[in-house]
Structure 1
Amino acid sequence: MGLDMPMDGYAVWILMFLLLAVTVVSKNETTLDGAALLLLGALYVGYGFGSMLQVRAFHEHGLFLSFLCFGCIWASDIGAYFIGKAIGRTKLWPAISPNKTIEGSLGGVLASIAVAAVFHFAAPEWIGLGHAVSIGLVAAVAGQFGDLIQSAYKRLRGVKDSGRLLPGHGGVLDRCDSWIIVFPLLVLTGLVPV
C-alpha cells in the first residue's frame, strides 16, 4: 500500500523540511515562527499565482475564464467601493477594515454576478448562466475575504503597506490579495476546471 500524495504535496513537504532545517543550521537565528511564516507566505502566493497559470494554460477556454474571473473580482471591488460610498452605513468588520460596509459588500457581490452574467451572454456555448453566476458569487465573497485577510495581516504587523513597490497602492499584495485567494478556490471547487 503506497502513499497517494500528489507531487505538489511532496514539494510542500520538502519546502517545510528545508525551512525547518534552516532553523537548526542557523542555530535558531531563523526561528520556528519565521520558518512557519515563510512557509505560509510561499503557499499563499505560490498556490495563488500557480492557480492563475493553471486556469490560463490548461483549459481550452483559459483566456476567457481568466478574464471572467478577473472581471468578477474587479467588479466586486468597484461595486463594493461605490455602493459602500453611496449607501454604506453598517460596518462590515471595523477592527480590520474600518471603511468597509455590509451594503458595499453586498453591492460588490451583485456587481460580480452581473459581470459573470455578461460573460455568459457573450459566450453561452462556453459557460452556462448558473455556472457563470456561481463563479461570480465565489469570486466576490472569496475576493472580499482575500482583501480582509491582507488587511488583518497588515494590522497585526502594524504596517500601512505590504511593500514599497507600488507606493500609494498598499504594495503588490494589496493589488492581488483577492486574486491569490479566488483562483485557487475556483480551481479546488471545480468551478473552473483545469
Structure 2
Amino acid sequence: MKQRVITAVVALAIFIPLIVYGGLPLTIAALLLGIIALDEILIMKKMLLVSFEAIVSNLGVILLILPDNWLNFLPDGLNRMFLFYVLVVLILLHTVIRKARFTFDDAGVLTLAMLYIGMGFHYFVTARADSLVTLLYAMLIVWLTDSGAYMLGKQFGKHKLSPKISPNKTWEGSVGGTIAATVILAVYLWFFPVQYGWIVMILVTFILSIFGQFGDLIESSLKRFYGVKDSGKILPGHGGILDRFDSMLIVMPMLHLLGIV
C-alpha cells in the first residue's frame, strides 16, 4: 500500500502540471506513454523491442497519436491513414520474410494494438487542445467510475460482473460506479459546461462511464489471455501504462464519436 501511495503521489505531481499546461509537453508525454503501452503488449507477446515488427509498430503508434496539425506538411493524397496503411503492409510483408516466426496472427495483434493505443492517446491530446475543462471532464469520468466501483463493490458487491475475465468486479460495483460518476459530474457540468446542454451531457456521462468500464475489461481480457497479472512494472504498485490508461483509451475516442472533441 505504501508503494502504491508513493507512486501515485509522484505520478500526479508530474502528470497534473502537464495536463494543466497542455501543448507540446503533453503531446510528448502522450507519445512516450503510447510507446510504452505498445511495448507492454510486445513484451506480453515475448517480442524483442528492437525487432523489425516492434520498430514499425512504434512508428505506427507515434503516427496515430500525433496531433492533426503536426501533419499539415504532408502533400495531398498522403495522409495519416495512408501512411498507417503502409506500415501495416510492412508488418504483413514481414510475415512472408519471417514465415513461421512471425505469423499473420502476430501482425493482427500489432495492428489492433497500434489502433487501440494510438487513437486513444490521440484523442487524449485532442481533448486537451479543445480545453482543460473537456479533458478533466473525461478523466474524472474514468477516475470517479473506477473509485466508485471499487468502494461500492467492496461494500455491497455480491454478483460477479465477469468472473472469467476480472473476478473481483461486481455488478453492484459497476452500477454504483456509473451512478456515482454521473451524479458528481452533473455538479461539475453545471459549473463547467462541456459542448452540449446540461441534461444531454448527463446522459453522455452515463454512456461514457459504461464504455470506460468496457475499456477496463478489455485490458483485463488481454492480460488474462497472455497470463500476466499486470501489463507492466513501470509504475510500482500500480502495474503498467495500460493498467492505468485502459479506460481512457476507450473514453477519449468516444468523446470524438459523440461530437465533443
TM-score under structure 2 normalisation?
0.66
What code does the residue aligned with 1:41 have?
A
Partner of 2:94: 22
In structure 2, the residue matched to 1:137 is 206
Counterpart Cα distance in 2 of 1:29 and 1:145 = 32
Distance between the aligned counterparts of 2:92 and 2:190, measured in 1?
51
Deviation at 1:170, TM superposition (A): 2.7
Instruction: Say what the alpha-carbon RMSD is for the aligned residues.
Output: 1.9
Q: Which has the higher helix share?
A: 2
The one-letter code of the counterpart of 2:79 is M
Deviation at 1:168, TM superposition (A): 2.4
Separation of aligned partners in 2, 1:80 and 1:151 = 15
Give the Å deviation of 1:68. 0.6
Structure 1: runs of 5 or more not aligned: none
Aligned counterpart, 1:169:
238
CA distance in 2, matches of 1:127, 1:119: 14
- Provide, for residues 107-147 of structure 1, a one-character-per-residue CA deviation record: whole Å limited to 9, x for no partner: 11111112321222213486521232133212210110011
Residues 46-125 of structure 1: pairs in structure 2 closer than 5 A: 46-57=118-129, 59=130, 62-124=131-193
**What amino acid does structure 2 have at the position aligned with 1:38?**
L
Listed one character per residue, the Cα deviations across residues 89-123 of structure 1 (whole Å, up to 9, x for unaligned) are 11111111111110100111111112321222213
**Shift >4 Å, 4+ stretches:** 124-127
Q: 1:125 to 1:158 in 2, by over 3 A?
A: closer
- Percent identity, aligned pairs only, is 43
State whether residues 88 and 111 of structure 2, in contact with CA within 8 Å, keep that contact through their aligned partners in structure 1: yes
Q: Structure 2 CA distance, aligned partners of 1:136 and 1:42?
A: 27
Closer, same or farther: CA 6–52 of 1 in aligned 2, 3 Å: farther
CA distance 1:149–1:131, change in 2 (3 Å): same
Partner Cα separation in structure 1 for residue 78 and residue 137 of structure 2:
28
Is 1:13 matched with 2:13?
Answer: no
1:45 partner letter: I
Q: Is the 8 A contact 2:159 2:170 kept in 1?
A: yes
Is the 2:151–2:173 contact (alpha carbons within 8 Å) kept by the matching residues of 1? yes
Size of the alignment, in residue pairs? 185
Which letter maps to 2:88? M
- Measure the CA separation in 2 of the matches of 1:96 and 1:29: 29
- Asked whether the 8 Å contact 1:56–1:65 carries over to 2, the reply is yes
Question: One-letter code of the match for 2:219?
Answer: Q
Is 1:112–1:139's contact at 8 Å kept on the other side of the alignment?
no
Asked whether the equivalents of residues 133 and 192 of structure 2 are also in contact (C-alpha less than 8 Å), the reply is no
- Give the letter aligned to residue 182 of structure 2: I
Amino acid at match of 1:99: N
For residues 100 and 94 of structure 2, what CA distance do their matches in structure 1 show? 8
